[in-house]
Chain A
Amino acid sequence: LAKTTQPISMDSYEGQEVNITCSHNNIATNDYITWYQQFPSQGPRFIIQGYKTKVTNEVASLFIPADRKSSTLSLPRVSLSDTAVYYCLVGEGAPGGYQKVTFGTGTKLQVIP
């Protein structure tokens, strides 16, 4: 299993762009990277997923360098409601197939007014 490492916590002011990096040095060729957001007393919520280069959706962007040993979740113009824990997940195997999953330790993002 690819071990992942994330910063334990981050602070940001409202309106700023936030970048959270996840290290996964032992990622395998067919592994994918997925990010989830979790609020207190709730289950995690899917944010974005990618294999390589850049993926963008309506809420975030995911940057994966060529060596795939890390990935960066980018949240544009955060608001107070983005205060949550963000998890990086690395899965072995193609999406939908046989796979093991490893969650990162999570990054607690605190957005400051």
Chain B
Amino acid sequence: KAGVTQTPRYLIKTRGQQVTLSCSPISGHRSVSWYQQTPGQGLQFLFEYFSETQRNKGNFPGRFSGRQFSNSRSEMNVSTLELGDSALYLCASSFRGIGTEAFFGQGTRLTVV
């Protein structure tokens, strides 16, 4: 079966702009969670969506938001970009939630200049 697809793979944005990242989970999976990965902070949990509802949220400012559609596809939005938002953004798809076996996409590499 098809894996988790994240688009775009690479993105360059200017400080102050906003960005939207997309994640298409594995068919049948209702949970999509998002992570930020940087060399300094490692893998940090952003939020999880399950059946279109945000079920959990990490410790990130309100500039980071997301949503999930009825087909389980999810988008993550970052507004008023800062240089420190440069990172690899990963999404993970699972049937019951991140605590169970989750499948990660290859990520979107965001560079803020």
Contacts and interface: CB of A to CB of B under 8 A. Distances in A.
B99 A93 contact: yes
Interface in B45-82: 45, 48, 55-56, 58
B102 interface: yes
Nearest to A33: B99
A87 B90 CA distance: 15
A46 B90 CA distance: 14
A101 B100 contact: no
Judged by DSSP, the binding face of A is loop
B96 A98 contact: no
Nearest to B109: A41
A91 B106 contact: no
B90 to A, nearest CB: 5
Contact of A103 (B42, B97, B105): B42
B100 A43 contact: no
A98 to B, nearest CB: 6
Interface in A29-80: 32, 34, 41-46, 49
Interface of B: 4, 33, 35, 42-45, 48, 55-56, 58, 90, 92, 96-107
Interface of A: 32, 34, 41-46, 49, 87, 91, 93-106
Given A95-B100, A101-B33, 7 more contacts: A44-B104, A49-B101, A94-B99, A98-B56, A100-B56, A103-B45, A105-B42
